[in-house]
Amino acid sequence: MTNSNILLVDNCAADIENVKKAFSDIGIKSTLHLAQNDNDAWLMLQGENKISPIPKIILIDINEESVNGINLLSKMRVHPDLKSILVFVITRIDNEVNKAAALNLNIAGYMHKPFEGKNTTDFFSILNDYWNIIEFSSEKK
């Protein structure tokens, strides 16, 4: 999955730094873009700050305060250019309502955030292995 974009939607500074460090430690070649909330993410997907090419993967914490991830997922799933993006919910909060809603919006996975450095690296190493064996559309947007 070299030279592709990944969008992280999260507003926890410590978690963002852990993800950046894990990506660096693992050597993930994708460009990591950061959005603080669903509105920022939408602008990066369809607004004036649009990421090009469109990310193949979105990592989102739908349970963070000020991140309306269900709203973002709902808009993405009806948009012709965004509906096939792989979305992984990575959260530390158990919210069964949000979990059910996200699963009904065809997310690729709902996982709990790792809390410490090595655990974060191991976690993203496994995800990176998965991302590198699946096939993505070669269609350019």
For the chain, domains (ranges, CATH) are 5-133 (3.40.50.2300)
Q: Is the pLDDT of residue 32 over 90?
A: yes
Tokens of 119: 């655990």
| pLDDT of res. 120 | 87
Tokens of 135: 């096939």
Provide the pLDDT confidence category of residue 1 given band limits of 50, 70 and 90. Answer: low
Cut 0.85: pTM above it: yes
DSSP category for residue 49: T
Most distant CA atoms of the chain, gap in Å: 38
| pLDDT of res. 141 | 45
pLDDT digits (tens, 9 = 90+) for 37-88: 999 999 999 978 799 999 999 999 888 777 788 999 999 999 999 999 999 9
Average pLDDT on 93-111 reads: 92
